[in-house]
Structure 1
Amino acid sequence: MAPPSFAFIPRNIHKDRKQQGTSAHVPSPLEPTPAIERGEPAYPGPSVIDKGKGKAPEPSAKPVYNETDISILVVLAFSDYALWLDSDLRRKTEESLQNESHDAGFLPLSYLMRRAFGRENLGQEYMPTEANVVKAIRTYAGDVLEVRMLVSAPSASAWYPSWKPERDSLGCYEVRRKDWSTLLDNATREFSRGQWDDRTIYMENIPAQYHTIPGIIRFAQGLLSQCCRSSSDPVPIQNITLPPHHLDKTEDRPKCKGFALVTLCNAELCQIFLESWPWTQPFQPSKSDDLGLAEDDLETKEASKFGFRTLPKARWDKLNEQYLAYRQKLINELADANEPPDISPDFDVRLVAYEVLEDIPVPPRNVTTMSSPYPLGCLVFARNLHLETNKTTLRALFTNAFKSSSLDPGGIDYVDFNKGMDSCYLRLASPEHGRVLTDYFSSQPIVQSHGLDDMGKTPGASQKAITTEIIEGKKEEVYWEKVPEKVRRQAVEKAVKALNGKQPSAPAHSAQEHSEESRPRKKRKRG
């Protein structure tokens, strides 16, 4: 009788015999997740030959957190504020709470991890493993979250219809809040935006070593722990918002520049910060002797050293609007005086001289200012061009629109044209140039008789006249996103000068056209 076949072939273990008796290696949060744990294929990809000799890989600039910070981010992703703000998280939590008590409230840990580390924009290779997160939760957040390992199938909460797209990535652990039985009765479920704003304060001059979201929470909790009225709530910090710089893109990872909006669990904690670290004169640190806080506390010393201070969010919103108007007023005055604005890129992160800003009006939002991401109303789309034309001819053709006006004839900054096309984009120096150009071509229809025709002629019966259109709104935004940032800033500065009555002095054929967005040309073969 033939011996029964095995269901699997045991691995050869003689090569690993030298490792017997050693403890199993547990990857740290700094180590990349193995391919098998990440759900990647086990077979190797294409080999890459490293031509360098002993060249060490460049260090990554992405943040990698320790266990304390990992636990803070996971707790923050499951806070009352997160449940109020994130409709998908709230729906899945409510579905899970309908299960039996032993399964009620549990969510896949992998699902919560994506929310905890998603906005940090960590690459997959820098994401902590579930084992790392479980260890961090059990060590530092055991009074807030409960974690369990899935021995067999996932809990019933994972098989609801809304979970179907995620069944392949549920992972090995589930997590729920310790207060899961009272979540449906939590008053914060019915909060309005204004009620959360009442529990939010603005913090400025945060010490440099705390310039991350977990760092801000550790810093704030450290200050609270020294107050005589310390909070008994296990999650006193509900949310951290890092206000973006006016030049930041929507996809950029938020960076702390020393200030943040911090949402607390109740208004009493807000009052503690506002009274202990009041908003005094700009950049004047408070004295720790007058705060009722422990002098030997690290957070207290650092807060006093850096001049840490706080402000209610409602007051910050109002002063921020006034400040932006004041900043623009200074820039306009410097431009009128024909002096370059001596303002650093981070100038707008400081709220200064509030006492003189009360009656300053806010500038209209549809006018280009120095803080605009691109020049508004300065993009024109032209169609029905000759298929054999070129950029030089088009520049001369469209410049004809300014000959009978008082505008600078060199108002065409760039002709965005590809050879063989019958359309192009025109970047203009000011919105007024765009209006004059479109009015000119709509009042007297013309066509190009040949590719080098830079004057145009009256179209025939079967010919389509050149049409021009000012691009605004979403199309305008999408177009400028593809333009290099340096070029956008130069265009904004030129548009602001034009709005202030200073006509651009750039030559008709701008050097920008020869430098920006230039494509690498093929080397000429030597015969």
Structure 2
Amino acid sequence: MEGLADLVVLALSDHTLWMDVDLRRKIDWSVRTQQREEESNTEEIASNDVLNDDTGYIPLTHLLRHSSIFLQSSSSPSFIQHPETTYVKALRAHAVEFVDVRLAFYHENMQTGQGEANNWYHSSGQQTGYEIRRKYPAIIGGSNFSEYGKADWDRLTIYVENIPVQYRSLPGTLKLVKTLLAYAPSPSSLRPRIQNIIFPRHHRDQSTSLPVCKGFALVTLTFLQDVNYILRKCPWETLQAKADSKATENRSQVFEDVTRFGFRSTSKERWDALKADYLLYRQRLIEEINEAQGKEQVSRRQLETTSLPVPESSVHVSSSHDRNEKHSVKGKGKDVHIPAHAAAVEAPKIHANSLYPPGCLVFVRHLHPDTNKTTLRALFAHAWSRDAGASSSGKPTDGIDYLDFMKGMDSCHIRLSTPVHAQKFVAYFSAHPTRQTSGLDNSGVVSEASDATIAPELVFGKREEVYWEKVPEKVRRQAVDKALKLMDDGNGHAADPTSTNDGNSYGQKKRKR
């Protein structure tokens, strides 16, 4: 009951009326209408008339339906719509010092042009209704709140965040702040201590949607001493707030809740400064992300258009700390230079916690549409068939972990065992343009590079990530373990696992003494 009365008082506060132009006009219109009726009845017009006890009333139903306070409250799932009489009982029990309530009857004078204030009820078909008005005057203690501007209200506004979950609604936040102020020294005034509660919008919220509490709010108070009290008891530095919670006056449940959730407050001036810094940081972060994505797209285009004419030899990348330094790839008696970022992509790091083995995925195009997996495995094995280790092992296709091919397609994905296998695969078919003459051609015909020759492409970046997301986690884990097992060390910097320089290397049996 007390919470309903607090909502009505909040809807009629000075700051709420200062922001709600429509409601303020309704109240002013009601005052002017009643004033004209009094002047018509008494036929006395005086320029210095003071409003009597019958002025300033508005229908309670209009406030419940159109006030921003009740519109925001109704958006909360915990808010329950109550009949008009329930609000009247609550106001008479808990807000008699702030609000006047009376029962108004419809009369026939409104049809002759008098009693215009009853038009609200006549338009809705009501014969009776409750009317309310603010009881406290416009000027208290020399402060004319009707003349307050934005700077004046900002001085009385605080920003609070980490509101406990059970208070994350307009009625709940109102109850929380009111409970906190109950421990503060009460000012000698008949004006309500809370003026307004506003939930800041998110930048993605629609302008037509009602703001909801996301754990933070702007609270406007009436007295500066209450502002200082909240800032002192719930400071922005939560460590100080935890220390203050041990005081005797802070042993209530509400102070335990705000301490547990890290409830804190700061002035609106400081909040505006923090907000400006955040918006500047967000804009700078967006620009950096856009710049990085642009560079990634440029690098991807360069890598897609870079050919690697390396036939049968290994890829030797010289170490360098200079990003602009070019790396060399030896083959056929001459060095082919590729950019440093391309070499970095060709030597990805694999570790035990990798979600998938990076650098092991190749996309192949221009296959014969009538081919099959068996033929393709034999055809692709030529990338390692001339290695001594591969031929001695009798397993020239060990570099292919899985052939992701669907019959009738002219392209497929190949999961290679290690990044070195993937590099050799791309290097071989780039240096030896090959095309299939038939669906069962497992040798291929070497010809000039054209749209008909097999075109391998290393897949990396977002495309690689999206592909592996569709692979079951167990299969991804097995692929990572296999890649680490075939490499010399577990950090992705292994030498060529197909190399024949070491008797213990992959693809070569250990020589017996």
After TM superposition, the score normalised by the length of structure 1 is 0.45
More helix by share: 2
After TM superposition, the score normalised by the length of structure 2 is 0.47
> Which has more radius of gyration?
2
